[in-house]
Chain A
Amino acid sequence: MSRALLVLVVALLVCLSVSLFGENFIASRFAYYYDILITIGVNVILATSLNLVNGYTGQFSLGHAGFMAVGAYASASWSNHLDPYVLGWIGGANNPFATNVAFLISMLIAGSLAAIAGFAVGVPSLRLKGDYLAIATLGFGEIIRVAILNTDFVGASRGLSVAGSYTNLFWTYGSVAVCVYVVLGLVHSTYGRGFLTVRDDEVAAEAMGINTTKYKVMAFVVASFFAGIAGALYAHFKAFLTPEGFNFFRSVDVVVFVILGGMGSTIGVIIAAVMLTILPEALRALAHTQFVPPAYQGLLENRLILYSLLLITLMLTRPQGLFGDPVALRKRFTRSRGN
């Protein structure tokens, strides 16, 4: 067993034991913090997976929320319609083993459907570069949202109630561990060399006989898979889905995590996702203390003002992000293309 795999198994065991022994305690005593903990997990999965596309492969996707939506709705529909059968076969709704197996199946379905959507989107759009790709992925994300909005089967604009709040600390942080393991494993394999080559110089990579489209699509599909998993976790945590929850701003959130953390730095992106999930909550708490005049409360409570200023300042002063590798990214960020 390799060291990385060992770390993964240990991480999963830790998650499992924390979940078994601490879940109810945290969820009942510290419901608010429990909520934030799960949200952090979901955001970390989204950020880590998007980093594979936007960071390591050097593409710029603005539609991650779309794939999350596919996963969330797929998982919710599966659980709503097919869980009774699944649970019937393996032991009933009161059997914790059966419900968890049912959730695993639902999550895998969600991830697979999101991956298929990622493939369908990636094959045509990844021929595009830079800002065109950004707009095309944004467009696909919006089309997915509009499609959900028009599908009566998943509740259209009314929203969709999700049967079974299966999401717990184990599944959330277990998925985080698997996601980080897969992304790092990919990046440090021969495939990873492919991703980095595509990022560093696509023309040179093509000239070396590297099938750049293949690597781009692969990164995109893996990222979409984990976005789908994150969607499933989100669906079974919130228990209610609306298409508006997966709009453009949701994608922007994830992009901000990746850029702040530093494109192409998994640890940086994870830290950024954790920080930026906690920060709005902390600012909200701060806004209601006596130190802040009422007039400025709104300013602190609006996370997007903060995010937007963060984006602009970062791009002006530190484009590689807080934890990005300046050496690997220096080339990419100092060379002017075109003009």
Chain B
Amino acid sequence: MATPEDNRYAKSHEYVHVEGDVATIGITDYAQKELGDVVFVELPQVGSALDAADELGSIESVKAVSELFSPVSGEVVEINETLADNPALVNTDPWGDGWMIRIRMSDPTEVDELMTAEEYDEYIEKESAH
């Protein structure tokens, strides 16, 4: 799957899709492949406040657990409830139905600090070469 160009990307492999001041956050296709079959996603409660780089939850795959970090600061306005019953959406549709949370950003300029699709592709190429 090509890395969508209308997202921004964190080094910890979350993506941010911005519409107005709301950021939709999920993990990238590369990240879901690295994790393998996702069986449980732990997400924060709606209304909680997050700072950029705060841990926002965790993803359990069969093999391992991985922490999720928020690439931006703000208030959680929505979580993807369908992941509770169908965590495999993170594997099958990471860019779409596998999204995790929506945050109303307190500082939208934080998005500019994140990588573009092109930068992220270079980044994972280097990472997977190790």
A and B associate in one complex? no
